[in-house]
Amino acid sequence: MSYDADALTDRRRLKRRLFFWRFGAIAAGAAALIALFGGTGILPHRAQIARVEINGIITDDRDLQKLMGKLADDRAVKAVILSIDSPGGTTTGAEALYESVRRLAAKKPVVATLGTVAASGGYIAAISADHIVARGNTLTGSIGVLFEWAQFSTLLDKIGVEMREVKSAPLKAEPNPFHKPSPEALAVTQGLISSSYDWFLGLVAERRKLDAATARKLGDGRVFTGWQAVENRLADEIGGEEQALKWLTRTRNIPAGLPVEDWAPERPGEGLTPLGARALGQALAAGVEALAGKTLQTKRLTLDGLTSVWHPEPR
């Protein structure tokens, strides 16, 4: 049997080229996946501090709550920074977020950094952390609960429209926008507000180590600057993420120099990766900045139930 030595050599060279080509393609693909998903918990990653953004109106966000559980269980995540810029939202949404963060904080340290606004439900998110760092001009506080409804009875009288109803008891579906509320309806509604408000005040007193009288004095609904919040013990220090990292190193023995990686909830229904969705959201936000006020007002109209939200009323 004879063989062509040159042909054999060429085949070996071709196999080596194919091997290195495949290896290079696999390595490039792996690098791309790590770059894309490294901060979402989908792929394994190095030791890090996770940063989670809590922006806009707070609702009962199950995906965000699940993310807190993933952060608690991920061994690579040594601490968590909550980057908060929110005027609040639904009281139940803030309650659920608070509870999920406290479960996370039972396993690893959590520090909050406050941006432009961290008020009402946004402040509930802040006090779920172990330490609060605010900018001097951050608007925070607005400790309180709100229930609103439109009142159309005078308008209906003017245009000659009368709304009629049959209901099981006088307080069913009260307060009602189509007629003025009775004293009994107002009293029941005030009871709802008071119950939720007492819960909010209790959280503030417990988390910020305030006596009940001081918590109630500070919890009259006003907003504070970051400087005022620190002075009144509603926040711990002035600064940003740099101060948050120093606190983690100084008090929680988190090694200095650990990378800070962005984490975002997985939202399968959106058809985008969490990182892609975040990037798209930032791009859209930059393009519609002029509409931000109207957008916030529109979102407020969708909030059902008790709300804990702050925003200046339009004039």
Catalytic positions are: 120, 172
Q: Cα–Cα distance between 115 and 83 in angstroms, integer? A: 7
Compute the distance between CA of residue 130 and CA of residue 248 in angstroms, rounded to an integer.
10
DSSP letter at 146 equals: B
CA gap 188, 106 in Å, rounded: 37
Task: Decide if 232 contacts 9 (C-beta within 8 A).
Answer: no
Q: What is the DSSP letter of 177?
A: T
Phi, psi of 104 (to 5 degrees): -65, -45
Bridge partners, 49 (sequence order): 79, 260
Omega before 44 cis (within 30°)? Answer: no
CB neighbour burial string for 150-176, b if at least 16 within 10 angstroms, e if fewer = eeeeeeeeeeeeeeeeeeeeeeeebbb
Number of Cβ within a 10 Å radius of residue 68: 24
Q: Is 257 exposed, middle or buried (0-12, 13-18, 19+ CB in 10 A)?
A: exposed
Give CA 154 to chain center in angstroms.
39
Of 260, 229, 261, 29, give the one whose Cα is nearest residue 133: 229
Q: Where are the beta strands (DSSP E) in 38-196?
A: 48-58, 77-90, 110-119, 131-134, 139-141
Residue with tokens 């209906």: 156
